Amino acid sequence: MKYAVTSDEMKRYDRNTSEVFGVSTGILMERASLCVADEIEKHILSKGVDRKYTALVFAGVGNNGGDGICTARLLKQRGIRVKLVVVGDMIKCSDLCLQQLKIAANYGINTDTFSNIRDNKSPAEWDIIVDAMFGIGISRNITGSYAEVIEYINDCKKERRDDLFVVSIDIPSGISADDGRICSLCVKADETVTFNCVKLGHILYPGCECVGNLVVCDAGITKESFCGNTPEYFYYDEKPSDLLPERKKYSNKGTNGKILIIAGSKEISGACALSAGACLKSGAGMVKVFTASENAEVIKTIIPEALIDTYEDYEPIAQKLEEAMSWSTAAIVGPGIGMSGKSAEIMKIVLSRYDKNLVVDADGLNLIASDKELRRLAGDYSKNGRRLILTPHLAEFARLFDRDVKECKRNILFYPKELANELHCTVVCKDARTVVSDSNEKKIYINMSGNDGMATAGSGDVLAGVLGALMGTGLSSFECACIGTYLHGAAGDLAAARHGKLSMVASDIVEELENILI
């Protein structure tokens, strides 16, 4: 597990390092700049060319600019030709930035003007451009000379391509460190060197697409500087199988989870098959599919390991469904059940009578969003120790939360937590970066696995099956949701590598589950 921090959290940890532990901000700046200089030197060495390189450093007037000025001095000391440009109002220059300017001048580094660089220097003169204008503090749209410099950097990159290495210090200028928003425009870096903690803006879209290769270096701000206030957001980068509880050697199919999958309708057969297949591949001991009779042959053919209970639209289903529910240790409801026929009745029976942990997906979510009684039952579900996981994609989430999709996307870090608190459940809000929030947890999970090839029909049904299997392991619903989302994305990454993002389908994700869990 790793943390992703907001700008305020990072500033607080930086301040704690100096004020609580006595490490001066000047030392931290020197260490950070050494990291940047080291990364630039690695890039130069990787080229294998024996010549003198030239670096153009754009520094702002804050402490990020101080990092840039310090880096310029270190690069010169390593034999690199350096041009330094300070962008911004010198009256607003921070004390550390001014101090670094004086040190740079002592080493013979004088500042140039952007107008002189732009008007009299060819982009071909630069091998390296260092962006150190804003750092993690930007929240407003970029205008004026800052915008001109960013456009200049990006234009140089377009012209020089691989012959120019653009490196940003901490975060590319123009990206909000708190939400990945681009503040009208931003530097498109080849590499970003940040310090000690990943920032949210590094991993959230659209900003993450302009970060380039992200390098996290140790500049001296350790976990002790959290001072008991650990970051709110986290993500996984472990081997997927390492996140799962160890399977008991004396277990049997009954003790490894009996998962009921209430899915499919007479019009839709694929959803229940995908969920059941993913559930079995993710470790469930037994799976029973409760579905319309029209799907029986499909399930028997594709997933012979699954048990089947079927129903007809014209017959009462309460007793049959209750018997299936009593057999199970956890359940999934919603994939492919539709919005008509028996679907509303099924949801009412499950939400009012099921006494174990439950995953609700797809049509089940839309039914809850459209029916006040079902929404009330969902909100009461966590009583008596039962746990509920909802897995909406962004449009389904917007219906549940009764907001515009665009507004929900802008607030994806916050709204899922509000819905989780309202319905006393775990919410998996699926998007390019899926966010998991829980009513009983302070922390929020951001999923880093997966790819755009997973934006394909049935992918969500696969996730529901993975979560159902994990619900049978004894993990908390929040742990199931976080780990399950990560496993699903990791399998999707393998499927994309094997089949290509354009050609991969949901069943490919199911097949790759066995490979990530080795």
pLDDT value, residue 210: 98
Residue with tokens 């079902």: 374
DSSP result, 64-75: HHHHHHHHHHHH
Cβ atoms within 10 Å, residue 316: 11
Give exposure, 132-161, as e/b (b: 16+ Cβ within 10 Å): bbbbbebeeebeeebbebbebbbebbeebe
pTM: predicted TM-score of the whole model, two decimal places: 0.95
Q: Buried b vs exposed e over 224-247: b needs ≥16 C-beta within 10 Å?
A: ebbeeeebbbbbbeeebeebbeee
Alpha-carbon distance 64 to 20, whole Å?
Answer: 22
* Integer Cα distance of 268 and 175 in angstroms: 43
Vertex 366: Cα angle to 375 and 359 (nearest 5): 75
- DSSP-derived 3-state class of residue 451: coil
Bridge partners of residue 215, in order along the sequence: 193
Q: For residue 362, is it left (φ>0), alpha (ψ between -120 and 50) or beta?
A: left
∠ CA 280-285-288, nearest 5°, is 70
The pLDDT, as a whole number, for residue 252 is: 85
Alpha carbon distance 79, 239 (integer Å)? 41
What burial letters (b/e) apply to 34-70, b meaning 16+ CB within 10 Å? ebbbebbbebbeeeeeeeebbbbbbbbbbbbbbbbbb
Token reading at 117: 């660089």
> What is the per-residue pLDDT for 71?
98
Please state whether 283 falls in left (phi above 0), alpha (psi between -120 and 50) or beta: left
Q: Which amino acid is at 506?
A: A
What is d(CA 357, CA 381) in angstroms, rounded to the nearest whole number? 9
Distance CA 179, CA 169 (A): 18
Q: What sign for the dihedral angle of Cα 247, 248, 250, 255?
A: negative
pLDDT of residue 518: 87
56 and 83 Cβ atoms separated by less than 8 Å:
yes
Q: Do 380 and 349 contact (CB within 8 A), yes or no?
A: no
Q: What pLDDT is attached to residue 482?
A: 98
Q: What is the pLDDT of residue 33?
A: 98
SS3 492: helix
60 phi/psi in degrees, rounded to 5: -80, -170
Domains, the chain, ordered by start: 2-231 (3.40.50.10260), 253-516 (3.40.1190.20)
pLDDT < 50 positions in the chain = none
Instruction: For residue 349, give the 3-state DSSP assignment.
Output: helix
Please report where in the chains the tokens 């809000």 appear, as a residue. Answer: 429
| DSSP state letter for 175 | B
C-alpha–C-alpha distance, residues 65 and 44, integer Å:
23
CB 64 within 8 A of CB 137: yes
**Residue ranges of the alpha helices (H) in 171-237?**
200-203
Q: Are 467 and 475 in contact (CB under 8 A)?
A: no
pLDDT of residue 251: 82
Which value, to the nearest 10 degrees, does the dihedral of the CA atoms of residues 480, 483, 487, 493 take? 140
**CA-to-CA dists, residue 491 to 50, 328, 451, 504, angstroms:** 43, 26, 10, 11
Radius of gyration of the chain (CA): 27
Residue 198 in 3-state DSSP? strand
| Cβ proximity of 296 and 425 under 8 Å | no
Cα–Cα distance between 177 and 64 in angstroms, integer?
13
One-letter amino acid of 265: S
Q: Specify whether the CB–CB gap between 432 and 205 falls below 8 A.
A: yes
User: What is the Cα–Cα distance from 77 to 325, expressed in whole angstroms?
Assistant: 71
pLDDT digits (tens, 9 = 90+) for 342-383: 999 999 999 999 999 999 999 999 999 999 999 999 999 998
Spatial strand order of the sheet with 213-217 comes to 111-112, 81-86, 54-59, 128-132, 165-169, 191-195, 213-217
